[in-house]
Amino acid sequence: MENLIEIQNVYKTYQLGKVGSQALSDVSLCVHKGEIIVILGPSGSGKTTLLNVISGLDRVSKGKILYKGKNIAKYRDYRMTQFRKKNLGFIFQTYNLLEHLNVYENVLVGASLGKAKVDIDQIIDTVGLKRHKKKYMHQLSGGEQQRVSIARALAKNPSVMFCDEPTGALDEKTGKIVLKSLVEANEKLGTTMIIVTHNPGIALIGDRIVRMNSGKIVEVKENKSRMNPQEIPWG
């Protein structure tokens, strides 16, 4: 498979006064184009830090982050911002939607950040919100708002989607609907997905599971077949 991202011997140290706290230690990983990777680990294992350095939201202390062969770890702030804007999408626990805009208009905002033309109606349909596209945020449930945030990120037509605990604030039923939207976006649009979670059931929807502990990758396991989000165990 084609390597889209290569993480090579990455370290991340946070300086707390005179004491250094090592969040990542000699982490290496390849991300293949079009796959779903799930990064799994307990709180403090380094999984969110890894997502942040891969996506350029944070800087590595040492090592390389190669995106299509180019070391983005060397990019200055402006160039990094432009790289993220052009290539990456983000989903967080908080939805960060514009309350005065309806579903279609929120997704349109995402499309305006990308260069490629996209079919907004198709993207809204992909996340299962076709009949809600004229509704405003206060008219939607938490799970529906999270799916709007997914659609908005997809409207940029990103090469990679970074999802940090996308179901963390949702109940099981709603969380599985959100995961189904992510899987369908991957299957229909070919978007590479990197999902961070502490929930081992969610790992079963991925092509590969990356387990972390104490700032290190302790296991990379390939799923022979991805599980339907509706069928995964929860918690």
pLDDT tens, position by position, 210-223: 999 999 999 999 99
What pTM was computed for the model? 0.91
Question: Where do the domains of the chain lie?
Answer: 32-58+87-231
Residues 20-47 have a mean pLDDT of 95
How confident is the model at residue 50, as a pLDDT? 97
Closest CA to 29 of 224, 210, 159, 221: 210
Per-residue model confidence as pLDDT tens digits over 156-192? 889 999 999 999 888 999 999 999 999 999 998 899 9
pLDDT value at residue 94:
84
Domain 32-58+87-231 has CATH 3.90.1150.10: no
Please state which of the ranges 10-19, 140-149, 186-195 shows the lowest mean pLDDT.
10-19
- Determine the pLDDT at residue 117: 77
Is the pLDDT at 19 greater than 90? The verdict is no
Write down the pLDDT at residue 130.
94
> Which residue type is seen at 205?
I
- For residue 144, the model assigns a pLDDT of 94
Q: Tens of pLDDT along 65-118?
A: 999 999 999 999 999 999 998 899 999 888 889 999 999 999 999 888 876 778
Residue 183: what pLDDT?
94
In the predicted structure, residue 35 carries a pLDDT above the cut 80: yes
